[in-house]
Amino acid sequence: MANDELLTTQQAAALLGCSRQHVVDLCASGRLPHTRIGSHRRIRRGDLQAFATARPLRREELRSLWLHRAVAGKVVQDPDRAIAVARRNVERFREIQPRAATWLDSWGRILDEGPDAVLEVLASTSRRAVDLRQNTPFVGLLSDLEQRAVIDSFTATHRDRFVEDS
């Protein structure tokens, strides 16, 4: 069966082993991507598979997501400047990190697509976005003070959620 095959909420529920209403709730909350055909929700099989196999973000991945959401604010405020900084960093990293070429190529394509594509990666919890953020070209966009504020907020918000490494 094709990865882009559209499933009904009932079919998705059967594959997930949950109720149809739970699938509807996942769609309504934005946790499960879907499309509408008339008044009916349809879920791509590939999206359902990605949802079913997703693992929770580790502490450092979640902290990176928080930092990149702050970067997303900078992109929204001044997309041209933010993307220009990222492009300069991609070129600089190509010279000093040749083994990261695959990630840098991906970032180059995303930057070419424009601010909406950039914002999607910066704010997404998808595995691809998590991996891309590990090689971020947005270094230097947040000041040290802004970074510290985000990290302090993250730490205070998630104090009891994760066990600190010793």
Strand ranges for 9-165 from DSSP E: 35-37, 40-44
Q: Which residue has the tokens 């509807």?
A: 24
pLDDT value of residue 3: 66
| Per-domain residue ranges of the chain | 6-53, 59-157
Per-residue tens of pLDDT for the chain, all 166 residues: 566 799 999 999 999 888 899 899 989 988 899 999 999 999 999 999 888 877 788 899 999 999 999 999 999 999 999 999 999 999 999 999 988 999 999 999 999 999 999 998 999 887 788 889 999 999 999 999 999 999 999 999 988 766 544 3
Q: What is the pLDDT of residue 166?
A: 34
Six-digit token string for 115: 């601010």
Length of the chain: 166
pLDDT value for 127: 78
Tell me the residue type at 92: R
Q: Which two tokens stand for residue 24?
A: 């509807």
Q: Could you please state the CATH topology (level 3) that the domain comprising 6-53 is classified under.
A: Multidrug-efflux Transporter Regulator; Chain: A; Domain 2 (1.10.1660)
**Cβ(16)–Cβ(52) below 8 Å:** yes
DSSP letters spanning 74-116: HHHH-HHHHHHHHHHHHHHHHHH-GGGHHHHHHHHHHHHH-HH
Query: How much is the pLDDT for 95?
Result: 94
CA distance linking residue 166 with residue 155, whole number of Å: 16
Give the span between the Cα atoms of 106 and 52, in whole angstroms: 25
